[in-house]
């Protein structure tokens, strides 16, 4: 399942880049993410709590920052997580690109390709895309707030 | 299935107390046709299942003061066979008659089905078109919510964790009114609809003008939806085939279906227009 979102963030490219590369800090901008910590180098672990209809998921897993190319203002991360109680797992990859619009404005484009596996995937397919869209919208809102606060 | 405790409260008050004590670890079970499947798939894993089987007073269908009241524990089969429903609201009996299979209808309850809130279910569009309201009860009292305001998202409703759907109230249709529920079933008779549409039409005395109309659809969005844009092109207008076609087209404004093995999203949107028009035609024929 692929989706793309872009938004104009009222901040310069450099501070936005710094925020996005600070995984534990940027993770707090994604609703439902808890306890993100660095394991080693570019690998982090954490939990994503999300509701799909009546089902409460607690997805535990890893995030790997696979690409970090500040010269191209481009980064990619891969995430793998599973819920041990509800038979379900997710695997996804996200690519972020930052385009400078002006000194204080940056266009952030996030492209995500995610697979939801197991029963939850069959059950939740209709809603997962909508949920993911809502989460990304909130993520970008929270990033704006985080940058404004600093 | 994961092991769980099982309680059988003898009254609603006891059930409310159980819900309060258990919080999100407790799940109410009535017929169990939906909950048990989700538990077997381990999508839901309540530590305690609270059965309403010993709760009395929620299993009757009765007419009073211009409406039909249906208890939350009335089964689909009971509702379908009810004299009151057959006589006063045949569209509701016909809707429940086409839910899944006889085995499911024997067990599944009206209140349980609504609380489950699968957007593909048959009864919600009919309830919305009929202008029904649902009774949501808790230890704090009972509130009434219009059918169209009850469903909030995919399998989600405005039902609070401590509330139970204890009944449905359906106003009787006025003079010169007709209703229909149509379900597009290209696969098998017991399947969920690819799209479904319900319409209730009230004509003027001369039966040439549409005085009022309510239309709702199932399987076309994350919740059942009322097609107000379709209603707006018909209300107060003379009866014309062209108007019904336009109403069908307008129904597309309310659809955002997902593509699945029952059809692509765009196909379902096209079919929604067709089935809304056909439901209107049949409702008008039933009004005459």
> In this model, does residue B53 exceed pLDDT 90?
yes
Among B171, B198, B213, residue at a domain's last position: B171
B114 and B181 in a common domain: no
Q: What is the mean pLDDT of chain A?
A: 89
Domain boundaries, position B15: 5-51
Residue B56 lies in a domain: no
B250 and B230 in a common domain: yes
Q: How far is B192 from chain A (nearest CA, A)?
A: 14
Which residues from chain B sit within 8 angstroms of residue A85, using beta carbons? Answer: 42, 45
Q: How far is B267 from chain A (nearest CA, A)?
A: 16
Tell whether B84 is within 8 A of chain A (Cβ).
no
CATH number of domain containing A123: 3.30.530.20
Secondary structure of residue B81 in the 3-state scheme? helix
**What's the average model confidence in pLDDT over B121-150?**
98
> In this model, does residue B288 exceed pLDDT 80?
no
> In this model, does residue A65 exceed pLDDT 80?
yes
**What's the average model confidence in pLDDT over B195-219?**
97
For CA atoms B11, B14, B16, B19, give the dihedral sign.
negative
B60-71 pLDDT, tens digit per residue, is 999 999 999 999
pLDDT tier for residue B99 given thresholds of 50, 70 and 90: very high
Domain boundaries, position A8: 2-149
pTM above 0.95, yes or no: no
The predicted pLDDT at position A1 comes to 81
Per-residue DSSP letter, B119: T
CATH number of domain containing B109: 3.30.465.10
Q: How many domains does chain A have?
A: 1
Q: List residues bridging with B215 in a β-sheet.
A: B199
Residue B223 lies in a domain: yes
Structure tokens at B258: 């997902």
> In this model, does residue A144 exceed pLDDT 90?
no
B203 and B143 in a common domain: no
B181 and B159 in a common domain: no
B67 and B37 in a common domain: no
B207 and B228 in a common domain: yes
Q: How many domains does chain B have?
A: 3
Q: Residue A133: which of B173, B285, B222, B138 has the closest Cα?
A: B222
ipTM of the complex as predicted:
0.70
The predicted pLDDT at position B59 comes to 98
Interface of A with B (CB under 8 A): 52-56, 85-87, 119-120, 123-127, 129-130
> In this model, does residue B157 exceed pLDDT 90?
yes
Residue B72 lies in a domain: yes
> In this model, does residue A127 exceed pLDDT 80?
no
**What's the average model confidence in pLDDT over A42-64?**
90
Q: Are B235 and B200 in contact (CB under 8 A)?
A: no
Residue B152 lies in a domain: yes
B163 and B112 in a common domain: yes
Residue B218 lies in a domain: yes
B128 and B196 in a common domain: no
The predicted pLDDT at position B89 comes to 98
The predicted pLDDT at position A149 comes to 81
B109 and B195 in a common domain: no
Ranked by mean pLDDT, which of A16-30, A124-138, B81-95 comes out on top? Answer: B81-95
Residue B130 lies in a domain: yes
Which residues from chain B sit within 8 angstroms of residue A126, using beta carbons? Answer: 119, 154, 222, 258, 260
**What's the average model confidence in pLDDT over B79-98?**
97
A133 vs B29, more confident: B29
The predicted pLDDT at position B41 comes to 85
Among B33, B51, B69, residue at a domain's last position: B51
CA distance B64 to B70: 11
């Amino acid at each position: 399942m692929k989706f793309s979102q872009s938004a104009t963030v009222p901040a310069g490219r450099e501070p936005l880049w710094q925020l996005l590369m600070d995984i534990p800090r940027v993770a707090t901008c994604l609703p439902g993410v808890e306890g993100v910590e660095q394991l080693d180098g570019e690998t982090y672990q954490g939990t994503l709590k999300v509701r799909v209809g009546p089902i409460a998921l607690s997805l535990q897993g890893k995030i790997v920052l696979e690409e970090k190319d500040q010269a191209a203002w481009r980064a990619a991360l891969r995430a793998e997580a599973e819920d041990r109680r509800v038979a379900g797992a997710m695997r996804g990859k996200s690519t972020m690109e930052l385009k400078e619009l002006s000194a204080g404005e940056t266009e952030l484009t996030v492209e995500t390709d995610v697979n939801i596996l197991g029963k939850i995937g069959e059950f939740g397919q209709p809603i997962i895309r909508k949920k993911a869209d809502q989460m990304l919208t909130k993520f970008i809102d929270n990033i704006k707030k985080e940058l404004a606060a600093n | 299935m994961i092991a769980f405790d099982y309680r059988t409260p003898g009254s609603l008050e006891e059930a409310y107390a159980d819900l309060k004590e258990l919080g999100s670890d407790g799940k109410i079970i009535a017929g169990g046709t939906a909950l048990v499947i989700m538990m077997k798939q381990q999508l839901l894993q309540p530590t305690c299942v609270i059965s309403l089987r010993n709760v009395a007073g929620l299993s009757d269908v009765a007419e009073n003061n211009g409406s039909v009241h249906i208890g939350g524990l009335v089964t689909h089969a009971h509702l379908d066979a009810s004299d009151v429903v057959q006589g006063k609201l045949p569209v509701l009996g016909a809707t429940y008659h086409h839910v899944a299979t006889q085995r499911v209808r024997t067990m599944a309850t009206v209140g349980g089905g609504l609380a489950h809130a699968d957007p593909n279910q048959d009864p919600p569009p009919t309830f919305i078109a009929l202008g029904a309201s649902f009774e949501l009860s808790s230890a704090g009292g009972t509130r009434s919510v219009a059918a169209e305001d009850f469903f909030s998202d995919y399998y989600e409703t405005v039902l609070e964790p401590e509330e139970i759907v204890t009944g449905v109230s359906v106003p009787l249709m006025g003079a010169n009114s007709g209703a229909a529920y149509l379900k597009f079933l290209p696969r098998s008779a017991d399947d969920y609809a690819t799209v479904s549409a319900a319409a209730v039409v009230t004509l003027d005395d001369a039966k040439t003008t549409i005085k009022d109309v309510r239309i709702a659809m199932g399987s076309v969005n994350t919740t059942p939806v009322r097609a107000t844009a379709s209603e707006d092109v018909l209300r107060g207008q003379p009866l014309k085939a062209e108007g019904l076609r336009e109403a069908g087209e307008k129904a597309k404004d309310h659809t955002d279906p997902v593509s699945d093995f029952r059809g692509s999203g765009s196909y379902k949107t096209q079919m929604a227009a067709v089935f809304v028009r056909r439901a209107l035609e049949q409702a008008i024929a039933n009004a005459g």
